[in-house]
Amino acid sequence: MEDPVDEALKLIQSKPEGVLQSELWKELGVDSRKCSRIVKKLEESELIDRIEFKKEGIKTYLLKARQMPVNPSDLLAGDELIPCICCELECVVEECHPLMDWMYQLAIVQNTEEPV
């Protein structure tokens, strides 16, 4: 079973417009008190922002994932740059051959690296 904090973070990250805290606990299947503790953890870890929000006159919070800086080395498989940079194809990730080829290259690079 997935850690509810990780599950909450994934859910919030999947919605760029944000998630209302008053709806998050229902989606997670936990009670509102447990949801508050999860949200507090994520906020203290600086992974999300918690913004005051009123829905139908009731105060709640809009939870938005913070943008994390990308480590440039994560975009390389050896010296091959991920094809999504400057891609002009119509994107269907599940069927993308350039991306699959790049991931294959990444697996080769990772399996041939010397253990530290």
Question: Is residue 86 a contact point for ligand SF4 (CB under 6 A)?
Answer: no
Which one of 34-42, 45-53, 93-101, 103-111 is the stretch in contact with ligand SF4 (CB under 6 A)?
93-101
Token duo for residue 116: 């530290």
User: DSSP string of 80-94?
Assistant: EEPTTTT--SPP-GG
Which of 66, 83, 103, 109 is in the footprint of ligand SF4 by CB under 6 A? 83
| Angstrom distance (rounded) from CA 10 to CA 3 | 11
Which of 62, 76, 84, 109 is in the footprint of ligand SF4 by CB under 6 A? 84
Contact 64, 21 (CB under 8 A): no
**Torsion of Cα atoms, 52 then 57 then 58 then 59, to 10°:** 20
Which of 51, 75, 87, 107 is in the footprint of ligand SF4 by CB under 6 A? 87
Which of 75, 91, 107, 108 is in the footprint of ligand SF4 by CB under 6 A? 91
In the complex, least distance from residue 42 CB atom to ligand SF4, rounded to whole angstroms: 28
Compute how many other C-beta atoms are within 10 angstroms of the C-beta atom of residue 24: 22
Interface contacts to ligand SF4, rule CB under 6 A: 83-84, 87, 89, 91, 93, 96, 98-99
